[in-house]
């Protein structure tokens, strides 16, 4: 199974993500979830960035929060709405929102 998980909150518990099993796991940061891709706490990047190689952050949500795409961690691919639609229809079989 190929699973894409939309993460829309910055302060969430990670145990849900730890329990997900998929052949391919993608995390798409949207809304306040984009802070995982841009913000460091105590000098450390979000631990979610270590979860998978398939990390995406929605550019429109990054810019809405006053940041630039260049502020995004290098492990995260910045995508727009069209890219998200392509991911949903071409890359992943299942979707989840947490």
What is the value of pTM for the model shown? 0.90
Q: Where are the domains of the chain?
A: 2-97
Structure confidence at residue 12 as a pLDDT band (50, 70, 90): low
Residue 13 scores a pLDDT above 70: no
Query: Which one, of 51, 20, 77, 82, lies nearest residue 90 by Cα?
Result: 82
- The answer to whether 68 touches 89, Cβ cutoff 8 Å, is no
pLDDT, tens digit, for every residue of 17-68? Answer: 777 888 899 999 999 999 999 988 787 888 888 876 799 999 999 999 999 9
Query: Is the torsion defined by CA of 16, 22, 25, 31 positive or negative?
Result: negative
Q: What's the fold here for domain 2-97?
A: Hypothetical Protein Ychn; Chain: A, (3.40.1260)
pLDDT, tens digit, for every residue of 72-81? Answer: 999 999 999 9
């Amino acid at each position: 199974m190929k699973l894409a998980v939309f993460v829309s909150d910055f302060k969430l518990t990670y145990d849900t993500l730890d329990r997900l099993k998929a052949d391919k796991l993608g995390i798409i940061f949207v809304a306040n979830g984009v802070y995982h891709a841009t913000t460091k706490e105590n000098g450390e990047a979000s631990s979610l960035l270590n979860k998978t190689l398939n990390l995406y952050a929605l550019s429109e949500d990054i810019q809405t929060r006053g940041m630039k795409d260049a502020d995004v961690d290098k492990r995260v691919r910045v995508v727009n709405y069209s890219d998200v639609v392509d991911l949903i229809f071409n890359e992943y079989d299942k979707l989840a929102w947490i």
